[in-house]
Structure 1
Amino acid sequence: ETKVMDVASLTAPNRTNAQFKLAWLDKYGLIVSARDPRTSEILSVKCRFCEFGRGDRNDEGRKRKRTERVKYFGRPWRTDNMQRHLKNQHSERFKEYSQLDSSSKRSKYFQKLEATRPFASLNRTRNDPLAAFAKVQVILDISKEIVEVIIAELSRDCSTNGEESANRDKMFTLVDEGGCKHYEASWPNRLQFEMVVSYIAVGVSFRQCSRIAVVTKENKGFSPMGNISMGKVVQIVRYTCALNYEVLRGILANVWAFSIAMDGGTKATVPYLDCRLRFVVGGKLFNLHLVALPMYESHTGENMFLLISQFLSALCPNWRSKLISVSTDGASNMTGRYRDVVTRLDQACLDGFYSIWCGAHQLDLVVQAIFVRMLDSSFVSSLQAVTGHLRRQQSLCRELGSQCPKFVDTRWLSIEKLVRWLIKNQTTLVAYMNDNQPACKPTLSWWIMVYLVYDFTEMINEVFTRLQGLTTLVSTQETLLKQLENQLRREGHVKGPVVPNELVAHTDWSSCDSSHLPVYSKGGFYMGIMEAEEHIRNRMLFVRENMDSMKRENFEEYRKILLSVQVMYVDVVAGINKITVERDRSNRRTTTLPPVLPKQLLTFSRAQFNDLLILQKRRILESMSEEQLGELEQEYKQFKDQTYQERGFVEMIERMPDSTAFDDAWQTIRMKYPLLCAFFGGIASVFPGTSTVESDFSIIGWEKGDSPASLTNFSLEGILQCKQFDVLQQIQALMNELGPQNPL
């Protein structure tokens, strides 16, 4: 017998704070409209009957027209409100719906209503979906330490730029649940929240964001946006920072190891210690901004350590047991032996800690030193004069369709960009110089050097760019540097290395003859004149033809150019050969970082693996149980057994390039060896350098413009956190999918 629900007999529940029950969706004809992004808890539901109007009652005699809006329900969940709405607004349809005896029939009920409604889409307002989204509430549950330490520190200078309108104490409510204290907060309009985050993420200031929102609402009729004042923008950004750090706190609580990279900056109102974070979740390597901490006191390694340790203690209380590596750019206050931040972090953490000196930064220093030595005053002064003259010729710039790049004599990368532009437009530029005869008109030897410098910097810049990838591994960096060294040795015909006393360097060209040619050497590498001439013969036709004629007509210029070639290639090969990114506790060079990719593990014995486990055991047991540690050992044994027994498996791994990303390398075998992937993922988190940290500081110039004092520490951090809000939400969703039992 089919039970018929009598709408009139519906009664109110005794409790008004009941948890939402999924059975109510089917019972009352509801559909979920919003969930908490962190917990997937239902935040809002809407009435499905309202989508088809509220016209099943007689409105004759009503003083006001019945609303056509869709009804939403949120916390606290009260079924009496749901029942009252159905009784008053949809009594006939809900009676029909209640007589259906199965969920499938009830689902088809709404499908039939949709099919019989003509021009249904025309009955909705243009902003209806957005209006519904605007009613979704954003709920925040933030750890006490994050609010009281991190948010408080970032908000120290919020008294400037109108930010005083947002009071931190009023934004968060302290809740004590059985001695466990945390902060709660909410925002009533999720559409407004996410729009502000999107605006700030692209670099607009807080005041600009408020103005853009007003213009969008007033000029475009975007009413669901609501009113957004300067104070609301500040409040939303602070909530975003808190949400991001809460997600990071959960991530660091689950991973067994993570790494940071640090760099000090002075481009903002006060000096900053900028930090980035790397970790692996679900077999994916992530590289995120961690924090830009203002250094109000002395810019020393000790002060840097105090800042970062205070921050990490609030974010990850057991960070000393999980931090596995720190990378720096090699500055003296970063890598001194005793009172520096790296040494202090190393001493504070468990054994098995890795100190990294940025390989890209070391390469940058090597190349920069070469240019300082190689580019004699005549070439540099000519380059500067030519650049300045060409940038002032507006008609020439219009003819070329581009302006001559700026010349910055302190950065070799600016020279690489400049010489590329000069070569691209050489024909037009030479004709212009011949017609106008400016005082800075360059010589033929100068143009030859432009070509040689371009070939040299192009090879280096390609590798330099790859070294700075977000997910580049230390092993990949070492491979790229070795490949670059070999390429430069081939191109320059550089010989060596040899023992220094076996090599006699000659620089006096006047005393040489065909049997004793001058040689330039450095660090055991050398290059003779014959090798330099062979290098010239392999260049572009313009260089070779003009060098041949110069050898006959102006030997002095000819030998200067050859010497420049020798200096370029010998110095860079010798410099790259000395680059070592790993350092021990005394800041000495070392090569102890273990392999992390399946291809590298083919030659990594079980004995070596056991040595690594012993070294990292205390750190591992912070996140894994003894049983999982045993499973990890068993997985490595199975991996090695499979490499011995299945040739196809080995061939699949061997086909992977040495520069394969961690995610791609483990993708095919991660599900079979999850603990193994998680373990080597922790080691893979080690930063190869600080290039991604330096990229954070570019936001300072981008945002500040010509007003240096306009960017506070909270403004800067707010922009950087808004930029990665979506990424962190995706990681949170991935962690929810993996579940708490997964070792990540």
Structure 2
Amino acid sequence: MGGKKVATPFQSSHILQYGMELITTEANGAQSCRCLFCVHQGRDVVEVTGDSGRKRKNRTDIKYFTKPFLLHQYRHHLEGQHKESWMLYQTLSPDEKKSYFNGMAKRTNTLHNYMDLSTASIDYVIQNSIIETIIGDLFFRDDDEDSGDDNDDEDAAAAIAKKAAKKAKEKVNAMKLFVKNVNIEMGTYTYTATIKNEMRFELAMDHVGVGMSFRQTAAAIDHARIRTNTPKLQGMNDLIVTQSVRVLVAVGLQMIARIIDNPSVWAFSLAGDGSTHRGQSFFDLRTRVCYRGFLVNLHLVAIPMFERHTAQNIFRMLVKFLDALYPNWRAKLIGFSSDGENTMTGRHGGLVTLIVKEAENDVIRIWCPPHQIDIVVKKSAECVFDGSWVKIVYDFSVYLRAQNNLIIKMKVKCPRKANRWANLGNVLKFYKQYRRALIEYTTENNPAKLPTADWWVLTYALAPAIDTINVTIVQLQSQSLLIAQQEEHIQSLIGSLTVLFSVEIVDGVNNHDEAYVSYHDQSMRIASAAIIAHIEDQGSFAQESYEGLNEVDKTRIVKEISIYAMTLIAGLNDVKAERNDANRALDQDAAPVMPAQLVKMRPGVFVKDVLAVRRVHVTKFWSAVKVDMVEEEHRQLVKLYKEDTIIHDAINKHTNTTTFNDAWDVLPSGFDNLRAFSGGLASVLANTTAVESDFSILKWELDEFRSSMMHLSLEGIFQTKQRRLLVALLR
């Protein structure tokens, strides 16, 4: 007659005696506990050999116990998986046992943000708000709403219902990747995602990160398994790759949250913009942060937008995301960069305006200068002959792109004149380079499409200015660019154009000299002879075309070129990244953040004009002693620059293309606090180029063959591209 099985309950004494932790207690009385040695130290690594007595490879997971809680099961686990630690633990007094685990970091909180590279599996622990709010809410549309009117076609209604069911299933499957862990004592809970094969996972993320599709990645890993005879790579398929990519979204966001939350970080900035691709709108958000003295630009998220693209809707979505990622973001935010679209920069209800009001500190508003220059170039070009010149530029390019015989003969196609006016330079360059062939073909086949001589003169005269602007735009699109460097590039561009067109600044003097063409406000003028010389500098064709004009047309051409040049320079003078609440340019200059700037600033001026402006902000996260060290290190830097010739020469070599990290790396140790403070100021994104780059990636990845890809998987692709950087930062 068999005895009745006893359901031995968990005893509180087990916690101290055997190093256990009670995890859950269900309503029906069911309980579970886990081994704290597994949590903090991991299991012993034992080789499976004939002498070891082990028949199985060591495991890497955490041991959990449920009813019945038998003492011999505790001892069997501890003696087999934590032999030395268990022997030591038994020799400790009760007070020593209470503090035994206090000084230890959890195994899941050590290397690479909860990753243990010494084992074959990885446990990622993610805060609950990232899983529930960002993954479970923002990436999935609420399809529980009415699918249509009663009079809708039944087939259409069925299709909508089928699609909604599919989306609901996708969300359920995505959430299954994360397991909820409850800490009863703390009253909190997190989620864990377990990657059972680390090598296969890392290899898959590397392949996806360089642009391979999920199927290509699975095939490549299987080929690697065959070629290298590596059993650990066995079993990979596109479904596993997809699941891994989705897990990486949460992992990447958790990494970024840790970076922003680091004590060295007192400020971070954001840049964002929206775009629509294949009928789905996304809002891309990036951040720049100085983590332990290293300034880094990171992709945050590309959130699908399911509602109308109003500033209020986007604002609510971003606040929801930021609250879930890092609840204290309002106290650290220092800058927000955007383009000039009214939804973003409107003075009353624009997105940037709403974000600035939500923040606790003064937030620097940035209107992307390349976008501003684009507007200036467009306005200036449309002033030439009341827009007829640029219209012909466009019409002629459309005509040439449709001439297949010409394209075959020349083996080159006319560039498309896109909306961005930076592309204007490529079109003009094509016209100049292939001018003879274009004129010959058009004369023979469609003379009415052939531009006139005065148009060619304008094209040759204005093309050098467009080329100069394009060079500067490329420089301004650098993702590592700082605001102060940006201003230097713009001023350098203005100087180059002033010299190119021989512009004279006349300070409002009313000058009616017929030898000059003056700007409408009398602030600038250009000698007609200088414009003629500029035309002649463009070569014999430009000279001949100009000389073939009558005197009236010559005068008109000179005036049009002069007005174009001065309109362009006046517009560039108004380009300013920093904006006020009314989206107007700020008069103040960007704060100095580079060693080359700081060494030329008196300590008293630094304290008054730089540190004092952000003292309230920085003291929310740094102690008064640390802030005092910022002042002291600045004084020491000024002294070092004066006394050390090597440092003096190294700093003097810095230019407006030197990156923040490279500039500070030339200094010896002892300036960590000053560097971190300067890095917080430098974190303000000078442009939205990185956001536009993200949209280029999005359109490349979400092509016609992957139009049904889940938004979560698409975001995972973004995270794979910066995974190595994040891992390196947190190493």
Q: Shorter-chain-normalised TM-score: which range?
A: 0.7 to 0.9
SS in 2 for 1:407: coil
**CA–CA separation in structure 2 for the residues paired with 1:478 and 1:558:** 37
Equivalent in the alignment of 1:579: 575
State the AA in 2 paired with 1:184. Answer: T
Confirm or deny that 1:136 pairs with 2:146: no
**Aligned match of 2:274 in 253, 264, 272?**
264
State the AA in 1 paired with 2:139. Answer: S
- Map 1:116-131 to 2 at 5 A: none
For residues 436-487 of structure 1, the C-alpha deviation after alignment (integer angstroms, 9 at most, x for no partner) is: 5665334444433333333121100000011011110000000000000010
Q: CA deviation at 1:146?
A: 1.3
SS in 2 for 1:672: coil
Equivalent in the alignment of 1:482: 491
Equivalent in the alignment of 1:194: 202
Q: CA deviation at 1:247?
A: 0.8
**CA–CA separation in structure 2 for the residues paired with 1:153 and 1:523:** 58
State the AA in 2 paired with 1:526. Answer: R
**Aligned match of 1:164 in 157, 167, 170?**
170
Identity %: 28
**Aligned match of 2:401 in 376, 388, 391?**
391
**CA–CA separation in structure 2 for the residues paired with 1:667 and 1:40:** 36
Confirm or deny that 1:543 pairs with 2:542: yes
**CA–CA separation in structure 2 for the residues paired with 1:221 and 1:486:** 63
**Aligned match of 1:249 in 245, 248, 257?**
257
Equivalent in the alignment of 2:593: 596
**CA–CA separation in structure 1 for the residues paired with 2:227 and 2:637:** 63
Equivalent in the alignment of 1:175: 181
Equivalent in the alignment of 1:417: 426
**CA–CA separation in structure 2 for the residues paired with 1:390 and 1:203:** 34
Cα distance change of structure 1 residues 715 and 454 upon mapping to structure 2, 3 Å threshold: farther
State the AA in 2 paired with 1:173. Answer: V
Whether the aligned pair in 2 keeps the contact of 1:521 and 1:570 (CA below 8 Å) is: no
Equivalent in the alignment of 1:287: 297
Confirm or deny that 1:274 pairs with 2:274: no
**CA–CA separation in structure 2 for the residues paired with 1:406 and 1:663:** 38
Cα distance change of structure 1 residues 211 and 320 upon mapping to structure 2, 3 Å threshold: same
RMSD: 3.9
Equivalent in the alignment of 2:697: 699
**CA–CA separation in structure 2 for the residues paired with 1:213 and 1:360:** 42
Q: CA deviation at 1:172?
A: 1.2
State the AA in 2 paired with 1:240. Answer: L
Confirm or deny that 1:407 pairs with 2:406: no
**Aligned match of 1:627 in 625, 628, 631?**
625
Whether the aligned pair in 1 keeps the contact of 2:273 and 2:338 (CA below 8 Å) is: yes
Bigger mean CA offset, 707-716 vs 331-340: 707-716
**CA–CA separation in structure 2 for the residues paired with 1:543 and 1:163:** 67
For residues 689-712 of structure 1, the C-alpha deviation after alignment (integer angstroms, 9 at most, x for no partner) is: 212212211223323334796455
State the AA in 1 paired with 2:469. Answer: I
**Aligned match of 2:560 in 560, 564, 574?**
564
State the AA in 2 paired with 1:188. Answer: K
Whether the aligned pair in 2 keeps the contact of 1:172 and 1:184 (CA below 8 Å) is: yes
- Map 1:300-449 to 2 at 5 A: 300-374=310-384, 379-380=389-390, 382-408=392-418, 410-433=419-442, 436=445, 439-449=448-458
Cα distance change of structure 1 residues 266 and 665 upon mapping to structure 2, 3 Å threshold: same
Cα distance change of structure 1 residues 516 and 638 upon mapping to structure 2, 3 Å threshold: closer
Bigger mean CA offset, 142-151 vs 443-452: 443-452
**CA–CA separation in structure 1 for the residues paired with 2:234 and 2:171:** 18
Equivalent in the alignment of 1:609: 606
State the AA in 1 paired with 2:202. Answer: E
Equivalent in the alignment of 1:299: 309
State the AA in 1 paired with 2:195. Answer: W
Whether the aligned pair in 2 keeps the contact of 1:17 and 1:76 (CA below 8 Å) is: no
SS in 2 for 1:495: strand
State the AA in 1 paired with 2:600. Answer: T
Whether the aligned pair in 2 keeps the contact of 1:357 and 1:581 (CA below 8 Å) is: yes
State the AA in 2 paired with 1:340. Answer: G
Whether the aligned pair in 2 keeps the contact of 1:134 and 1:189 (CA below 8 Å) is: no
Equivalent in the alignment of 1:742: none
Aligned length: 624
**CA–CA separation in structure 2 for the residues paired with 1:159 and 1:629:** 56
Whether the aligned pair in 2 keeps the contact of 1:321 and 1:349 (CA below 8 Å) is: yes
Cα distance change of structure 1 residues 344 and 161 upon mapping to structure 2, 3 Å threshold: closer
Q: CA deviation at 1:149?
A: 1.5
Whether the aligned pair in 2 keeps the contact of 1:536 and 1:544 (CA below 8 Å) is: yes
State the AA in 2 paired with 1:453. Answer: L
Cα distance change of structure 1 residues 420 and 222 upon mapping to structure 2, 3 Å threshold: farther
State the AA in 2 paired with 1:613. Answer: L
**CA–CA separation in structure 1 for the residues paired with 2:171 and 2:215:** 12
**CA–CA separation in structure 1 for the residues paired with 2:601 and 2:432:** 48
- Map 1:18-167 to 2 at 5 A: 47=47, 74-75=60-61, 136-157=120-141, 164=170, 167=173
For residues 170-218 of structure 1, the C-alpha deviation after alignment (integer angstroms, 9 at most, x for no partner) is: 2111212332421112111224323432443344555776677778889
Cα distance change of structure 1 residues 199 and 522 upon mapping to structure 2, 3 Å threshold: farther
**CA–CA separation in structure 2 for the residues paired with 1:558 and 1:46:** 90
Equivalent in the alignment of 2:10: none
State the AA in 2 paired with 1:604. Answer: M
Cα distance change of structure 1 residues 83 and 528 upon mapping to structure 2, 3 Å threshold: closer
State the AA in 2 paired with 1:615. Answer: V
**CA–CA separation in structure 2 for the residues paired with 1:721 and 1:461:** 31
State the AA in 1 paired with 2:413. Answer: Q
**CA–CA separation in structure 1 for the residues paired with 2:323 and 2:19:** 36
**CA–CA separation in structure 1 for the residues paired with 2:422 and 2:166:** 37
State the AA in 2 paired with 1:628. Answer: K
**CA–CA separation in structure 2 for the residues paired with 1:403 and 1:683:** 46
**CA–CA separation in structure 2 for the residues paired with 1:237 and 1:700:** 15
**CA–CA separation in structure 2 for the residues paired with 1:544 and 1:282:** 59
Cα distance change of structure 1 residues 381 and 387 upon mapping to structure 2, 3 Å threshold: same
Q: CA deviation at 1:684?
A: 0.6
SS in 1 for 2:277: coil
**CA–CA separation in structure 1 for the residues paired with 2:629 and 2:463:** 54
SS in 1 for 2:283: strand
SS in 1 for 2:507: coil
Q: CA deviation at 1:358?
A: 1.3
**CA–CA separation in structure 1 for the residues paired with 2:222 and 2:440:** 54
Whether the aligned pair in 2 keeps the contact of 1:277 and 1:288 (CA below 8 Å) is: yes
**CA–CA separation in structure 1 for the residues paired with 2:432 and 2:686:** 34
- Map 1:232-247 to 2 at 5 A: 232-247=240-255
Whether the aligned pair in 2 keeps the contact of 1:595 and 1:601 (CA below 8 Å) is: yes
For residues 548-576 of structure 1, the C-alpha deviation after alignment (integer angstroms, 9 at most, x for no partner) is: x22xx433443443233223311110001
Structure 1 unmatched runs, 5+: 1-14, 19-38, 58-66, 85-132, 506-513, 734-744
SS in 1 for 2:297: strand
**CA–CA separation in structure 2 for the residues paired with 1:228 and 1:411:** 43
Whether the aligned pair in 2 keeps the contact of 1:247 and 1:728 (CA below 8 Å) is: yes
**CA–CA separation in structure 2 for the residues paired with 1:351 and 1:628:** 20
Whether the aligned pair in 2 keeps the contact of 1:140 and 1:185 (CA below 8 Å) is: yes
Cα distance change of structure 1 residues 268 and 594 upon mapping to structure 2, 3 Å threshold: farther
Structure 2 unmatched runs, 5+: 1-16, 21-38, 64-76, 84-116, 142-163
Cα distance change of structure 1 residues 174 and 704 upon mapping to structure 2, 3 Å threshold: closer
**CA–CA separation in structure 2 for the residues paired with 1:516 and 1:452:** 19
SS in 2 for 1:186: strand
Q: CA deviation at 1:307?
A: 1.8
Q: CA deviation at 1:135?
A: 8.6
**CA–CA separation in structure 1 for the residues paired with 2:447 and 2:281:** 44
State the AA in 2 paired with 1:295. Answer: M
TM-score of the superposed pair, with normalisation by structure 1: 0.74
- Map 1:496-507 to 2 at 5 A: 496=505, 498-499=507-508, 502-503=509-510
Equivalent in the alignment of 1:88: none
For residues 608-647 of structure 1, the C-alpha deviation after alignment (integer angstroms, 9 at most, x for no partner) is: 3223333323332343222222222221222233345456
State the AA in 2 paired with 1:567. Answer: I
